[in-house]
Structure 1
Amino acid sequence: MNRLPRPTAKPAARRQSANLSTRRRMLLVIGVLGVASIGLVARAFDLQVVRKQFYQDQGDARFLREVPIAVSRGTIYDRNGEPLAVSTPMVSITVVPSEVLANADRIPALAQALGTSPDELKNYLEQRADREFAYLRRQMSPDAAQAVLALGVPGVNGQREYKRYYPSGEVTAHVLGFTNIDDHGQEGLELAFDNWLSGKPGAKRVIRDRMGHIVEDVEQVRAPQPGQNLTLSIDRRIQFLAYSELKKQLDDLNADSGEMVIMDVHTGEILAMVSLPTYNPNVVTGSAPAQRRNRAVTDVVEPGSTMKTFTMAAGLSSGKYTPTAPMIDTGNGHWYFMGKDIRDVESGGNGNLTPTGVLTKSSNIGAAKIALSLDSKFLYDTYRAFGFGESTGSGFPGESAGYLKPSHGWRPIEKATMGYGYGLNVTPLQLAVAYATLANNGMRHTPTFIKGGADTGTQIVSTTIARELVDMLETVTAPGGSATRAQIANYIVAGKTGTAHLASAGGYAKNNYNSLFAGIVPATNPRLVGVVVINNPKSSIYYGGLVSAPVFQRVMTGALRLLDVPPDNIGRWYAGGPLQAGGGLAGTAQSQDAKDDQSAAEAVDP
């Protein structure tokens, strides 16, 4: 039996169901689109209004940069306007490591321009890949830097800087010092006057492109303030003379080191200061610390017989002594005091000497007896007044104060030996200041490295006593004195030799010495003081009169000529003739130079 087919849904119902489904889908799509639109509008509002400043700052941070404006360090001149330290423009190569690494194919060319290997350069960049800034090379010459920048390697840029240059090289090294790669003073006057010379770098905002290149200067944030210039009291010509003559003497005698200081007695201005061994401040790398030390200011020596001058100053100031009285018995050259043999070198001794004769013959015995006859506190105060045991106040970095033991702790033997220069320490600069005080009629000035930087001064001893001491010191360089090799043609020289045993473990070395000479010229109208110290000359010649006095003579001869100082000894030897050791005139008899100089040597039983 055939069955009839079942009836299907009506066409109208099917169409109605389809329309409803389509409508729902459209509403869903519209709703989604509406929500999305609202979200976009909200996001846009957030970006453009709510957080506009934040994203602006973020964008500026990626393209707007604040970069420094380099300033030139002030120039240092000598007293005559000759440049001693100048700054020259250089270019440092900087890099964004990630950008260079992203262009690895450019690394070989960049490495070649920088003078390194590709592997070393790549390793350097990889170690700094997370940085936005690094130096590739500091302070390249502008031409060499331009060759690197011309490659156009992404992320590689140039930055202007300055490098210090010292035209006089090692001649002025210890006075000037040097700067580091960031142009800040590290030693010497470069350090002492760093704030004055450095200036203040400026700053500007710039826009950089994606390769790091500056495409626009936006504004100046801070104006640059270049460093201020500095004019020193140093005379480059005299400095060179002192350097040349001292170096020659050290080489000839195979000495360990040496120093020389030259001062203007009326102002305290330092005209020259040399310390050897030295170094080249233009290439500091590789120099030893001992080479870079300014020994004229930082190192101390026992002054030996150069100290007798100030023992005598105390004697004259006390009223117990005059240049000619009382007579002092130095006997046969040996005086046993508290178990020590204080002795003079003169064969057979010097017998009776005037106070002037004590200086002329450089008698240890005479100086010791004068010191012992004075009140300890008075003697200490006199030494201190001349600047011993305290900094000179020059302001030089690392200056030593020396050593002067307080008088309340002096034992008699210490007081005696201090009278002729043992048991205390001084710097060459301190010694120069003390002699300049005498030369300036007893007025002490604080030493200065700045032209025109003199202070008003302090009166230490009376003008009369200062003049008497200078007159007494004239006999030291006259015939019969201990420093005839310090004589300068047409000028009268006043001065004092010193030959001090070097201190060593357990006492003093018997065959190692410091040789000193301190001199004033012209003696009748003093203008210059010079101090020469030569440390441990390794030869049979070591007395101050033989070793240091000739350096003084050669340097000061040139200095007097350069400064056009009028002579004071034309057509005569000394006004009135030099005083003999016994107080009379020397007459015409002259000892041989070797004997004269030998009489200056200090003898001490450690």
Structure 2
Amino acid sequence: MEGEKRHIKHERIASNRGNIFDRRSVLLAVSTPTYNVVLDPKKFIESKTYKRQIQRLSNILSIKINDIDSAIKKRPNRRHLIIKKEITDSQIDQIRANKWRNYLYLEKSYKRFNPSGEVTGQLLGFTDINDKGQEGLEFMLNDYLEGTDGIKKVLKDRKQNIVRDLELLQAAKDGSDFYTSIDLRIQFLAHRALNNGLKKFKAKSASAIVMDIKTGEILAIVNQPSADPNDRSLRQAKYFKNRVVTDQFEPGSTFKPLIVATGIENKIFSSKDMIDTTPFYIGKKLIGEDNRCSSQKVKPEKILINSCNAGTARMSLQTESKLFSQMLESLGIGSITASGFPGEASGTLDNNYDRWRDIRRVSLSYGYGVDVTLLQLASIYSVIANQGIKNHVSIERIDGKPISERVLSEETSKELLLMLEQVVENGVRRAKVNGYRVGGKTGTVQIYSSGYSNESHNGIFVGIAPISKPRIVTAVIVNEPGGEQYYGGQVAAPIFSSITSGTLRILGIAPDKVNN
């Protein structure tokens, strides 16, 4: 019995990190069993075969002898030292085949694996070597996913093999599983379309998001370039930035529908009113020098179709700053969403509307002097598509009723929705989706860096489909396209069309009956 006592040990029972699934229970992230090589430095140093055993261990694990020797001698009194984690099957066999007495053994652990690789890389993020979340959902949900290791008292032989379990001191508790709102089929589709667009338009980067209008659920969220979390050499924060939620940009003309919504909602003008689009000056600044509406008086719908700055500016000057500010705030500009994503940006909005000068009011109306994220932009258009109701954004699958609030009247939303359809029908043909009625708005924005650049642009498109019974919003941004094409209608709209076309079919949404 005295001999047995010398080999009674406390053994860790590894817990399993919770799995992450898509909305259809397809596995996105799982912890798979692995083994670590563990040493008892105190006993190892006292061994007569220390140098020979280190040489053998060095050969098996491909670690320099000096590195092993240094690690052991820095901790001479430790009884538990992990020399190498996640060893290969071949290394496991070699360790088990050698006689290590009682100072070296294998310890079961788990490592994270992402079956979809880079397709969900920036969404899921990654865990460190201790299986703790460092980026993405792995970081956001770490406390929820992480388990609690157990402890048991065991009897070991001189080779550190467990002879039998003696007593369970603390049971291991596995982490909880998480079901995302993501549809992996749509995620793959969006990833491919974005990658093709990035290459075709020679862009620096690109991002896209697909949202379910009725629930606020995110069906796909992708960025290019992307990174595979299974590749440990890429496990750095810079490769896993989820730009859909972290990057802010000026929305440009995608903002123009919001001044129209504010004016109609507050009965300042109607969808049938004629608005002057003649270019004019504010101080020394000429507004609407491109004169896209040929100085005519046109309806708000025509202003959106032709993206007339002068007409948009005049609608803005008719509208009280307070009303426009309140509209932007209610839509979520300047505030983070309820998504919970780590690193989510809030956007920027100057709330001191009483100090807005005319040039400030005008520039805001066509999306300059304000910053948004692509997630916010998609959420805003979801309100328009959802009869004026704003749902909380969710990356978790919603099985019940979504949390929501009314932001716009149903009447205003319907009018705006039909205007956006005409924008696509008469102005942005590359955004069309065969067999479906779609609506949306482009934006082409000069990127600000110590001044606005004529060389660097963001091309943006946000769209809704199908107009007959809105179900999804897709938002796309192409950052710094390098070719001759850089307008939102040229670079972002085709990507929108590709993603939306596939998504509608995946969701089983029947085509509209369109009269040709």
The one-letter code sitting in structure 1 at the alignment partner of 2:416 is L
Give how far 1:287 is off. Answer: 5.3
The one-letter code sitting in structure 2 at the alignment partner of 1:431 is L
For 1:255-313, what per-residue CA distance to the aligned partner results, in whole angstroms no more than 9, with x for missing partners?
A: 11111010000000100001122211112434553321100001101000000011111
> Aligned equivalents of 1:496 and 1:347: distance in 2?
16
Query: What is the SS of the residue equivalent to 1:477?
Result: helix
The yes-or-no answer on 1:412 pairing with 2:358 is yes
TM-score, normalization by structure 2? 0.94
Residue equivalent to 1:365: 310
In structure 2, stretches of 5+ residues that fail to align are: none
Q: Which moved more, 1:275-284 or 1:237-246?
A: 275-284
Question: For the structure 1 residues 67 and 344, does the alpha-carbon distance in structure 2 shift closer, same or farther, using more than 3 Å as the test?
Answer: farther
Give how far 1:412 is off. Answer: 1.7
Name which of 415, 420, 427 aligns with 2:373. 427
- Superposed, 1:555-566 pairs within 5 Å as 555-566=499-510
Give yes or no for contact 2:292–2:307 (8 Å, CA) kept in 1: no
The one-letter code sitting in structure 1 at the alignment partner of 2:323 is F
Residue equivalent to 1:219: 167
Larger Rg: 1
The one-letter code sitting in structure 2 at the alignment partner of 1:491 is Y
Name which of 553, 562, 577 aligns with 2:497. 553
Query: What is the SS of the residue equivalent to 2:478?
Result: strand
Give how far 1:146 is off. Answer: 3.4
For 1:78-124, what per-residue CA distance to the aligned partner results, in whole angstroms no more than 9, with x for missing partners?
A: 11221111111000010012433422222322221112344443343
Question: For the structure 1 residues 68 and 287, does the alpha-carbon distance in structure 2 shift closer, same or farther, using more than 3 Å as the test?
Answer: closer
Residue equivalent to 2:322: 377
Name which of 521, 531, 534 aligns with 2:475. 531
Give how far 1:435 is off. Answer: 0.3
Give yes or no for contact 2:210–2:473 (8 Å, CA) kept in 1: yes
Give yes or no for contact 1:360–1:475 (8 Å, CA) kept in 2: yes
The yes-or-no answer on 1:459 pairing with 2:403 is no
Residue equivalent to 1:193: 141
Query: What is the SS of the residue equivalent to 1:548?
Result: helix
> Aligned equivalents of 1:366 and 1:116: distance in 2?
70
For 1:349-377, what per-residue CA distance to the aligned partner results, in whole angstroms no more than 9, with x for missing partners?
A: 35222111111111111111111111111
Residue equivalent to 1:583: none
> Aligned equivalents of 1:411 and 1:151: distance in 2?
80
Q: Which moved more, 1:314-323 or 1:137-146?
A: 137-146
> Aligned equivalents of 1:431 and 1:287: distance in 2?
29
> Aligned equivalents of 2:497 and 2:197: distance in 1?
12
> Aligned equivalents of 2:69 and 2:371: distance in 1?
57
Name which of 71, 77, 80 aligns with 2:24. 80
The yes-or-no answer on 1:240 pairing with 2:185 is no
Residue equivalent to 1:89: 33
For 1:419-463, what per-residue CA distance to the aligned partner results, in whole angstroms no more than 9, with x for missing partners?
A: 000000000000000001111100101111111165231010111
Give yes or no for contact 1:114–1:148 (8 Å, CA) kept in 2: no
> Aligned equivalents of 2:67 and 2:266: distance in 1?
75
> Aligned equivalents of 1:294 and 1:337: distance in 2?
39
Query: What is the SS of the residue equivalent to 1:139?
Result: coil
> Aligned equivalents of 2:444 and 2:347: distance in 1?
18
For 1:145-190, what per-residue CA distance to the aligned partner results, in whole angstroms no more than 9, with x for missing partners?
A: 2321321213111111100000111111111111111111111111
Residue equivalent to 1:253: 201
Residue equivalent to 1:349: 294
> Aligned equivalents of 1:457 and 1:358: distance in 2?
31
Give how far 1:338 is off. Answer: 2.3
Give yes or no for contact 2:292–2:306 (8 Å, CA) kept in 1: no
Give yes or no for contact 1:268–1:448 (8 Å, CA) kept in 2: yes
Give how far 1:225 is off. Answer: 1.5
Give yes or no for contact 2:16–2:31 (8 Å, CA) kept in 1: yes
> Aligned equivalents of 1:90 and 1:141: distance in 2?
8
Give yes or no for contact 1:76–1:86 (8 Å, CA) kept in 2: yes
- Superposed, 1:171-320 pairs within 5 Å as 171-209=119-157, 212-286=160-234, 289-320=237-268
- Superposed, 1:29-68 pairs within 5 Å as 63-68=7-12
In structure 1, stretches of 5+ residues that fail to align are: 1-55, 574-606
Report the RMSD for the aligned CA atoms in angstroms: 1.9
Question: For the structure 1 residues 428 and 564, does the alpha-carbon distance in structure 2 shift closer, same or farther, using more than 3 Å as the test?
Answer: same
The yes-or-no answer on 1:335 pairing with 2:280 is yes
TM-score, normalization by structure 1? 0.81
Question: For the structure 1 residues 344 and 74, does the alpha-carbon distance in structure 2 shift closer, same or farther, using more than 3 Å as the test?
Answer: farther
> Aligned equivalents of 2:156 and 2:383: distance in 1?
63
Question: For the structure 1 residues 68 and 452, does the alpha-carbon distance in structure 2 shift closer, same or farther, using more than 3 Å as the test?
Answer: same
What percent of counterpart residues are identical? 36
Question: For the structure 1 residues 409 and 288, does the alpha-carbon distance in structure 2 shift closer, same or farther, using more than 3 Å as the test?
Answer: farther
Give yes or no for contact 2:293–2:303 (8 Å, CA) kept in 1: no
Residue equivalent to 2:86: 139
Q: Which moved more, 1:446-455 or 1:305-314?
A: 446-455
Question: For the structure 1 residues 320 and 486, does the alpha-carbon distance in structure 2 shift closer, same or farther, using more than 3 Å as the test?
Answer: same
> Aligned equivalents of 1:348 and 1:324: distance in 2?
16
> Aligned equivalents of 1:335 and 1:284: distance in 2?
57
Question: For the structure 1 residues 140 and 225, does the alpha-carbon distance in structure 2 shift closer, same or farther, using more than 3 Å as the test?
Answer: same
Question: For the structure 1 residues 348 and 561, does the alpha-carbon distance in structure 2 shift closer, same or farther, using more than 3 Å as the test?
Answer: closer
Question: For the structure 1 residues 485 and 307, does the alpha-carbon distance in structure 2 shift closer, same or farther, using more than 3 Å as the test?
Answer: same
Give yes or no for contact 2:459–2:477 (8 Å, CA) kept in 1: yes
The one-letter code sitting in structure 2 at the alignment partner of 1:412 is D
Give yes or no for contact 1:328–1:353 (8 Å, CA) kept in 2: yes
The one-letter code sitting in structure 1 at the alignment partner of 2:74 is Q
The one-letter code sitting in structure 1 at the alignment partner of 2:95 is V
Give how far 1:66 is off. Answer: 2.6
The one-letter code sitting in structure 2 at the alignment partner of 1:126 is K
Residue equivalent to 2:393: 447
> Aligned equivalents of 2:235 and 2:206: distance in 1?
18
Residue equivalent to 1:34: none
> Aligned equivalents of 1:519 and 1:211: distance in 2?
66
Give yes or no for contact 1:437–1:443 (8 Å, CA) kept in 2: yes
Question: For the structure 1 residues 383 and 283, does the alpha-carbon distance in structure 2 shift closer, same or farther, using more than 3 Å as the test?
Answer: same
Question: For the structure 1 residues 350 and 147, does the alpha-carbon distance in structure 2 shift closer, same or farther, using more than 3 Å as the test?
Answer: farther
Give yes or no for contact 1:173–1:281 (8 Å, CA) kept in 2: yes
Q: Which moved more, 1:278-287 or 1:417-426?
A: 278-287
The one-letter code sitting in structure 2 at the alignment partner of 1:422 is Y
Give how far 1:566 is off. Answer: 1.1
Give yes or no for contact 1:516–1:532 (8 Å, CA) kept in 2: yes
Give yes or no for contact 1:404–1:425 (8 Å, CA) kept in 2: yes
The one-letter code sitting in structure 2 at the alignment partner of 1:357 is K
